[in-house]
C-alpha cells in the first residue's frame, strides 16, 4: 500500500549567503522590496506603462538609443539564443570567438540552425586574436562576428573595439555577450558599434536570475524584417516579442512580473550610483582582491593583467589543496559562495565574482580573511594577515570606497 498521508514540509528558509560566484550576485534589499509589490496583470495599463521605464533604464545602462531594447524572459543563455537565432538563416556563415564554455555556447546554438560556423579559438585564460578572426573570414561572406565580452569560465575580457574593426573589414555584424560585464565595466553599445548586445540580470546589475536584457540596432532590425524565412524559435523571435514591448503591447507570453519589478529597481540603483562610479568601484575592488591574493602567495590564472575580467577573477589552486574542500568550508563556516573551474580547468581554479551589490570593500576583506583561514586549515603556508593587509593598502592608495546605491 502507498502511504497517502500528507507529508509536512516546513517553511522555506534559505540560508543567507554572500554570493561571490560568477553569478548570481547578492541582491540589494531594495530590489527584494520591489519584488514584494503586488502582482498585477501583464496587460494592466499600469504595468504596460511601467514597461517604458524598464526600457528607458536599459537604454541608459547599455548607452544606446536603440528602439529594440527590452529584457527577454529568459536566462543569459536565452539571450545568446535570441541573438544568434535572429541574426542567422540556415546556411549563413558566421565567426564565433571561443575562449571558454560560454563563448562556445554561441557556436553550438548557431550550428543547430544550422549555420556554417567558423570557430576561432584561444586557450582558456587568453583572448582570441583579432587578426586570427580576420584571416578566418577573408574571402568569405560572414554574417556576424560573435564574442563574449567577459568569459566567466576563465576570467578573461575582450577589447570590443578590436573586433568591431575586424567585423567592418569583413562586412559583418558584431554580436557581443555582455552577461558578465553590463553595469560592471565600461560599455557603450552605440559608440563601440555593437549591432546586437545582450546581457543577464543576475550579475553586475544585481537582480535575480531570469531576465536577459537585449538591444538591437536599426541595421539588424531591418535585416530581421527582410528575412527569407521565419526565425526558427517562436519564443525568441524578436520581431514578435517586440510587439509586446513596443507601442502595440500585443500579447506574446506572460512575463515574470516580479522579476521585471526587480529589474526596474536594480537598474534604478545602477543609474543612481552612476555608470562611471560603478565601473570604478568594480575596478578598485578587483585590484584590492588581486593584491590580497598575490600577497598570500597565490597566483592568477590569467597572466596578462590587460586580459583580466574585472567582474570575475580566476585564482590558481595551489598544489596539494582540494578545490571542493575549500569551497565547502567557505560556504559552511563563512556563508561565502565562490565557484570552481569548468571543462578543462575544472579543479584547477577558483572563480571569484565581484559584481554589483556583492562588490563591496567589506566583502573583499571578509573573503580574503576567510580564504586565509581555510587554506591554513588545509596546511597551506602563508603569511598571516598578508592578504587583508595588502587589500587594505590597495584601497587606501585608490580613491575612497563608493557607497552602493549612492548618487554620483
Cα three-residue angle 59-64-70, rounded to 5 degrees: 40
| pLDDT score recorded for residue 318 | 97
Sequence-distant (6+) residues with CB within 8 A of 113 are 84, 85, 88, 89, 90, 92, 232
Q: SS3 breakdown of the chain: % helix, strand, coil, rounded to 5?
A: 40, 15, 45
Q: What's the CATH number where 188 sits?
A: 3.40.640.10
Examine the domain organization and report whether 281 and 353 are in the same domain. yes
405 in a domain, yes or no? no
Q: What 3-state DSSP class applies to 41? A: coil
12 in a domain, yes or no? no
What number is the average pLDDT over the span 158-181? Answer: 98
3 in a domain, yes or no? no
233 in a domain, yes or no? yes
The 8 Å CB, 24+ separation contacts for 44-50 are 47/257, 48/249, 50/260, 50/264
Examine the domain organization and report whether 189 and 314 are in the same domain. no
Task: Return d(Cα 372, Cα 297) in angstroms, integer.
Answer: 11
Domain ends where: 271, 295, 329?
271
Q: What's the CATH number where 341 sits?
A: 3.90.1150.10
| pLDDT score recorded for residue 400 | 52
What number is the average pLDDT over the span 28-46? Answer: 97
What number is the average pLDDT over the span 342-354? Answer: 97
Grid cell, residue 311, equals: 567582474
370 in a domain, yes or no? yes
Count of beta carbons in the 10 Å neighbourhood of residue 171: 10
Q: In what order do the strands lie in the sheet with 339-340?
A: 312-316, 349-353, 339-340
Examine the domain organization and report whether 171 and 47 are in the same domain. yes
Examine the domain organization and report whether 234 and 350 are in the same domain. no
Examine the domain organization and report whether 249 and 302 are in the same domain. no
Grid cell, residue 161, equals: 573595439
Domains of the chain: total: 2
1 in a domain, yes or no? no
Our measurement of the distance from residue 352's CA atom to the centroid of its chain's CA atoms, rounded to an integer in Å, reads: 13
Examine the domain organization and report whether 155 and 46 are in the same domain. yes
Instruction: Identify the helix (H) or strand (E) that includes residue 277.
Output: helix 275-295
9 in a domain, yes or no? no
| pLDDT-based confidence at residue 42 (cuts at 50, 70, 90) | very high
| pLDDT score recorded for residue 95 | 98
Q: Is the pLDDT of residue 88 over 80?
A: yes
| pLDDT-based confidence at residue 398 (cuts at 50, 70, 90) | confident
99 neighbors 154 (Cβ within 8 angstroms): yes
CA distances to 97, 98, 153, 382 from 124, in Å:
12, 9, 8, 28
Examine the domain organization and report whether 172 and 288 are in the same domain. no
Domain ends where: 215, 244, 271?
271
* pLDDT digit string, tens, across residues 101-144: 999 999 999 999 999 999 999 999 999 999 999 999 999 999 99
Write down the mean pLDDT value for the chain. Answer: 95
Task: Return d(Cα 314, Cα 353) in angstroms, integer.
Answer: 9
Q: Which of 347, 305, 300, 295 is nearest to 326 (CA)?
A: 347
Half-sphere exposure of 148 (CA within 13 A, CB side): 33
* pLDDT digit string, tens, across residues 250-262: 989 999 999 999 9
Task: Return d(Cα 240, Cα 243) in angstroms, integer.
Answer: 5
* Percent of the residues in the chain that have a pLDDT greater than 90, as a whole number: 90
Return the minimum-mean-pLDDT range out of 128-137, 219-228, 332-341: 219-228
Examine the domain organization and report whether 251 and 291 are in the same domain. no
Examine the domain organization and report whether 47 and 62 are in the same domain. yes
pTM score, two decimals?
0.94
Using the 8-state DSSP alphabet, how is residue 307 labeled?
G
Examine the domain organization and report whether 100 and 179 are in the same domain. yes
Examine the domain organization and report whether 290 and 191 are in the same domain. no
Task: Return d(Cα 253, Cα 53) in angstroms, integer.
Answer: 20
Residue-range definition of the domain harbouring residue 370? 275-397
406 in a domain, yes or no? no
Cα three-residue angle 127-129-135, rounded to 5 degrees: 150
Check the CA dihedral 27-30-35-41 and report its sign: negative
Domain ends where: 220, 255, 271?
271
Examine the domain organization and report whether 230 and 287 are in the same domain. no
Per residue in 18-46, is it b (16+ CB within 10 Å) or e — as a string?
bbbbbbbbbbbeebeebbeeeeeebeeee
Half-sphere exposure of 314 (CA within 13 A, CB side): 28
Amino acid at each position: 500500500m502507498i502511504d497517502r498521508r500528507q507529508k509536512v514540509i516546513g517553511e522555506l528558509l534559505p540560508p543567507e549567503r554572500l554570493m561571490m560566484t560568477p553569478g548570481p550576485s547578492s541582491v540589494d534589499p531594495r530590489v527584494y522590496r520591489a519584488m514584494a509589490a503586488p502582482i498585477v496583470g501583464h496587460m494592466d495599463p499600469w504595468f504596460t506603462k511601467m514597461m517604458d521605464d524598464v526600457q528607458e533604464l536599459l537604454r541608459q545602462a547599455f548607452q544606446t538609443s536603440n528602439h529594440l531594447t527590452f529584457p527577454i524572459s529568459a536566462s543569459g543563455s536565452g539571450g545568446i539564443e535570441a541573438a544568434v537565432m535572429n541574426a542567422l538563416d540556415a546556411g549563413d556563415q558566421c565567426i564565433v570567438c571561443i575562449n571558454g564554455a560560454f563563448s562556445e555556447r554561441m557556436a553550438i546554438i548557431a550550428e543547430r540552425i544550422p549555420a556554417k560556423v567558423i570557430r576561432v579559438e584561444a586557450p582558456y585564460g587568453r583572448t582570441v586574436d583579432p587578426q586570427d578572426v580576420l584571416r578566418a573570414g577573408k574571402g568569405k561572406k560572414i554574417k556576424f562576428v560573435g564574442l563574449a565580452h567577459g568569459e566567466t569560465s576563465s576570467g578573461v575580457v575582450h577589447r570590443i573595439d578590436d573586433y568591431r574593426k575586424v567585423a567592418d573589414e569583413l562586412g559583418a555584424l558584431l554580436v557581443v555577450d555582455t552577461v558578465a560585464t553590463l553595469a560592471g565595466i565600461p560599455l557603450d553599445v552605440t559608440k563601440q558599434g555593437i549591432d546586437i548586445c545582450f546581457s543577464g540580470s543576475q550579475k553586475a546589475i544585481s537582480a535575480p536570475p531570469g531576465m536577459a536584457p537585449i538591444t538591437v540596432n536599426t541595421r539588424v532590425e531591418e535585416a530581421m524584417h527582410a528575412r527569407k524565412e521565419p526565425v526558427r524559435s517562436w519564443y525568441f523571435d524578436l520581431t514578435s516579442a517586440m510587439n509586446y514591448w513596443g507601442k502595440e503591447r500585443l500579447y506574446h507570453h506572460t512575463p515574470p512580473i516580479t522579476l521585471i519589478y526587480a529589474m526596474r529597481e536594480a537598474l534604478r540603483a545602477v543609474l543612481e550610483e552612476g555608470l562611471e562610479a560603478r565601473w570604478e568601484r568594480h575596478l578598485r575592488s578587483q585590484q584590492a582582491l588581486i593584491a590580497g591574493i598575490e600577497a598570500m602567495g597565490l597566483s592568477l590564472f590569467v597572466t596578462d593583467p590587460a586580459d583580466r575580467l574585472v567582474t570575475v577573477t580566476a585564482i590558481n589552486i595551489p598544489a596539494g589543496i582540494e578545490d571542493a574542500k575549500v569551497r565547502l568550508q567557505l560556504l559552511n563556516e563563512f556563508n561565502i559562495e565562490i565557484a570552481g573551474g569548468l571543462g578543462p580547468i575544472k579543479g584547477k581554479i577558483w572563480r571569484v565574482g565581484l559584481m554589483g551589490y556583492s562588490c563591496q570593500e567589506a566583502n573583499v576583506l571578509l573573503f580574503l580573511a576567510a580564504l586565509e583561514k581555510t587554506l591554513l586549515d588545509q596546511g597551506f603556508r602563508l603569511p598571516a594577515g598578508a592578504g587583508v593587509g595588502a587589500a587594505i593598502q590597495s584601497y587606501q592608495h585608490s580613491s575612497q570606497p563608493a557607497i552602493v546605491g549612492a548618487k554620483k
